Chains A and B, each alone.
Chain A
């Protein structure tokens, strides 16, 4: 991401240090990850120590310091989904994609992440791929869902 765009985002939040998290969220949302150079630029412009930015970028789950895959798989592990068998869904997706939650595969095809409660408890267990919700998931349905993504 170019420095100009980063500067624009920072200016939008009036260059205030308290908006640090909001700035990083915008960069993450546009760029899909936070490169080191972006963190350094933010540190410089907001006059905030890099250690604080690093802490925030690793403390909060929304941020990724590595590029994400083309398709983001989110599996809900909220209590309702858990009780309806979410663990089996995670295990099966893990087996099929070869990656664990928090990881991206080597082809940058899939990124897998667990999330706490998407608010669709009636449809549990829930798996979200690129924002599309797949409800009432069972291990046997997973292959059919994943094969649609190349």
Chain B
């Protein structure tokens, strides 16, 4: 496998072809915040928290590091005014759903995100997709999935499958950043 040299935050990083910028950064011990990323799952690119700035030929552009493939001589900045501004807004938007979620609160402190910027929303779910993707890709049970789209999108258990599989598994529960999953499971139980 060929080696690719790139620069992240001024540090030279050696990566393999096929890696993403996020993977390359992690391998070099450089931290980029994520919510929807998990090593066992295909990258999702939904939360946009891992956004970074690329410099090339005098101009900068923003890319989502968990899905952007490494390239030779890439110059990456994991923090900048723009990057921080975007992360702050993303956090504020998510805090409207889950103001007490530990992961969100931690990041909110770092980026100065105000949990009251937006009025509270009814649903705890922040659509990181970890539960759905874990059950599909790792457990291969497909006990829960997404329904609908846009602001109406929700996670939904399939009672027939969940009643057989979930009690003995529950491996997705600790993945959920906001405990929305527990709420959905309890709700689905009502239909068993």
Closest Cβ neighbor of A60 among chain B residues: B149
Judged by a CB distance under 8 angstroms, whether A52 is at the interface is yes
Q: Return A17 CB to nearest CB of chain B, in Å.
A: 14
Minimum distance in angstroms from B152 CB to a CB of chain A? 8
Cβ contacts A to B, 26 pairs, < 8 Å: A49-B136, A49-B142, A50-B142, A50-B145, A50-B158, A50-B161, A51-B132, A51-B136, A51-B142, A51-B144, A51-B145, A51-B146, A51-B158, A52-B145, A54-B145, A54-B147, A54-B156, A54-B158, A55-B145, A55-B146, A55-B147, A58-B147, A58-B148, A58-B149, A59-B147, A59-B149
Map CB proximity to A onto B28-61 as digits: 1 under 8 Å, 0 otherwise: 0000000000000000000000000000000000
CA distance in complex: A50, B143 (Å): 9
Chain A residues with CB under 8 A of B161: 50
B interface SS class: mixed
Q: Contacts of A54 on B, CB cut-off 8 Å?
A: 145, 147, 156, 158
Task: Across the interface, name the chain A residue whose C-beta is closest to B141.
Answer: A49
> Beyond A52-B145, A55-B146, A55-B147: 18 further Cβ-contacts under 8 Å?
A49-B136, A49-B142, A50-B142, A50-B145, A50-B158, A50-B161, A51-B132, A51-B142, A51-B143, A51-B145, A51-B158, A54-B145, A54-B156, A55-B145, A58-B147, A58-B149, A59-B147, A59-B149
Q: Enumerate chain A residues within 8 angstroms of B144, measured Cβ to Cβ.
A: 51
CB pair A49–B145 under 8 Å, yes or no, is yes
Name the A residues within 8 Å of B136 (CB-CB): 49, 51
Q: Which residues of B contact A52 (CB under 8 A)?
A: 142, 145
Distance (whole angstroms) from the CB of A49 to the closest CB of chain B: 4
Interface bracket on A: under 10
CA distance A49 to B158 in the complex (A): 10
Q: What separation, in Å, do the CA atoms of A49 and B156 have in the docked complex? A: 14
CA of A58 to CA of B152, assembled, Å: 10
Chain A nearest CB: distance from B137 CB in Å?
Answer: 11
For chain A residues 24-59, which have a beta carbon within 8 Å of chain B? 49-52, 54-55, 58-59
Interface string of B115-154 (1 = CB under 8 A from A): 0000000000000000010001000001111111100000
